[in-house]
Structure 1
Amino acid sequence: MADLRLSEARNLLSARGYRVTEEDATGQKRPILEPSNWVVVSQSPGADAEAASGSQVVLKVRKPTDPSTSQEPPVKGTVPNVVCLDLQKAQDTLQAAGFYLLGSEDATGKHRQQLVDRNWVVVTQSASPGSRPDPKTKITLGAVKFGEPTGASGCAS
């Protein structure tokens, strides 16, 4: 099931008669509001293990935009690269670097509001990564909903 969207993995396992539960693989215990926004990274019992129909399968999941555990903390006063992070994580990362005047917009041009920030992926940022603007500079993040085309950003959709 690894690398499948959670929604697909749920359907496959349920069709085979298994009970499915999910856990945030990052340990943050984030709620899973939209299963298609999550990717399976592991399962227990493992894919090759024997399991009776009706038994429980636990899927460890993450967002495609979750940073690797080796990501360096942001440097104060220097704009980090937040493209491909979910909108909430991008905002948190910018704030950790000392930037608090933040805005977001629908990068598709449809003018939709970003109500649940974790359901949007950042595809553009108005301040270049590595730049050192005045901390009072507004940084605007362009975002699309998970699963939508991400254009030239290089982000997985």
Structure 2
Amino acid sequence: MLKLALGVTLAAVATSCAPSQLGSTPGATPAPGHTTTTARPVEHWTMPNLVGSGLQDAQDAIQKLTGNVVFFTSSHDVSGQGRHQILDRNWKVCDQNIAAGQQIQVGVKIDFGVVKTTEKCP
């Protein structure tokens, strides 16, 4: 009889817990396969107009705008000569792949079309 009473009591306790109470013990780890995440808000910024800026200044402006979250920008020679931008201060921005006023966010590829500072944009 004691075994039967103990079994009924355990069954009653097991079924009285609502699913929302299971695993709600402070410091308890989630069950395998269950993850708890805190969603980070998507950070975004408004792309400035950097056409006419020096390449280094344009890169610095993006880093400052985003607090270095968007750190890397790329650039390419729009003169058709295929030159590499070794010293960014010697280049100026002729165009940008993301129009001023559009939203940018983490993971975006920002690319500046550039020529030497002594040259005219095509």
Q: In 2, distance between residues paired with 1:90 and 1:134?
A: 17
2:57 corresponding residue in structure 1: 89
Whether the 8 Å CA contact 1:101–1:136 is kept in 2: the answer is no
Structure 2 counterparts to residues 128-143 of structure 1, below 5 A: 128-143=99-114
The letter for the 1-side match of 2:51 is: V
Q: In 1, distance between residues paired with 2:63 and 2:80?
A: 26
Tell which has more relative contact order, 1 or 2 (C-alpha 8 A, sep 6+): 2
The letter for the 2-side match of 1:106 is: D
**Structure 2 portions without partners, runs of 5+:** 1-43
SS in 2 for 1:133: strand
Q: Percent identity at matched positions?
A: 37
**Structure 1 portions without partners, runs of 5+:** 1-75, 152-157
The letter for the 1-side match of 2:58 is: A
State the TM-score, normalized to the length of structure 1: 0.46
2:93 corresponding residue in structure 1: 122
Runs of 4+ in 1 over 3 A off after TM superposition: none
Compute the displacement of 1:100 (Å): 2.2
Whether the 8 Å CA contact 1:121–1:146 is kept in 2: the answer is yes
Higher strand share: 1
State the TM-score, normalized to the length of structure 2: 0.58
Query: Are 1:146 and 2:117 an aligned pair?
Result: yes
Compute the displacement of 1:88 (Å): 0.3
2:84 corresponding residue in structure 1: 113
1:72 corresponding residue in structure 2: none
Compute the displacement of 1:136 (Å): 1.2
1:104 corresponding residue in structure 2: 75
Whether the 8 Å CA contact 1:103–1:140 is kept in 2: the answer is yes
Higher helix share: 2
Task: Work out which of the two has the higher radius of gyration on C-alpha atoms and give 1 or 2.
Answer: 2
